[in-house]
Amino acid sequence: MQKVALAVRADLAVVRHADVTALDVYPPSAPHHLRAGLDLTIGQGTDSVRVLVVHLKAGCRDSRQTDRKPACQTLMRQIAIVQDWIMERQDEGEAFVVMGDFNRLLAPDDPAWRALSENGPLALATSGHASPCAQGRYFIDHIIAGGPAREWLRPDSLRVMLYRENGHDDPTRLSDHCPVSVRLSLP
């Protein structure tokens, strides 16, 4: 099973919090399970940011008439869990980032985005951009900043690392996604 992960520079302090296992919204008897979220704090004191790394349910990229599909119902249950995590960070006044594979085209009119952002402003770094990795389609991998981190997000810092294409069957291929990054300027 694939796991979520985050690479952090060695000189940064990292505190690992309990994984967000509630993202596995399937019952214990399910034959397959969904990934937990990785919850970390990077840095110390006012120079810290809480990070949640997710890989959400595939099969519900947009809010067209597919909302009744089981995959969409599952994804929206996971979105509610992420929304709760965001609300906890907002209540604590923490700088935070949620990042990873949302398997969803988040946009201002999307029900998933509206749910995530209904309790306070968030910055969606991928908003309005097309992914060069996905032949110009919109992102399903996102970086969302909230709390003080919204102000730390450097404009125009979104980057996508492209891989040399050797085909989908290439055993040396690292991923079917290209890494997405942004720069934060902490105070």
**Ordered mean pLDDT values, 10 residues apiece, the chain (187 residues):** 82 96 95 95 92 94 72 94 97 95 89 92 87 71 94 86 60 60 84
Question: Terminus-to-terminus CA distance in the chain, angstroms?
Answer: 39
pLDDT at 165: 60
Contact 95/48 with Cβ under 8 angstroms? yes
pLDDT at 98: 97
Across the chain, how many H-helices and E-strands are there?
3, 8
Residue 104: DSSP 8-state: S
| Cβ atoms within 10 Å, residue 58 | 14
Contact 97/51 with Cβ under 8 angstroms? yes
pLDDT at 135: 65
The first and second tokens of residue 49, run together, are: 């940011």
pLDDT at 58: 92
Question: Please, which residues have CB within 8 angstroms of residue 156's CB and are 6 or more apart in sequence?
Answer: none
Q: Which residue has the tokens 């940011």?
A: 49
Contact 131/178 with Cβ under 8 angstroms? yes
| Helix, strand, coil fractions of the chain, as percent rounded to 5 | 20, 25, 55
Contact 83/96 with Cβ under 8 angstroms? no
pLDDT at 134: 59
Closest CA to 16 of 40, 43, 32: 40
- Amino acid sitting at position 150: R
Domain ranges of the chain: 14-181
Closest CA to 121 of 148, 154, 101: 148
Residue 37: DSSP 8-state: B
Contact 18/66 with Cβ under 8 angstroms? no
pLDDT at 156: 86
Q: Where are the beta strands (DSSP E) in 1-79?
A: 14-16, 38-44, 47-55
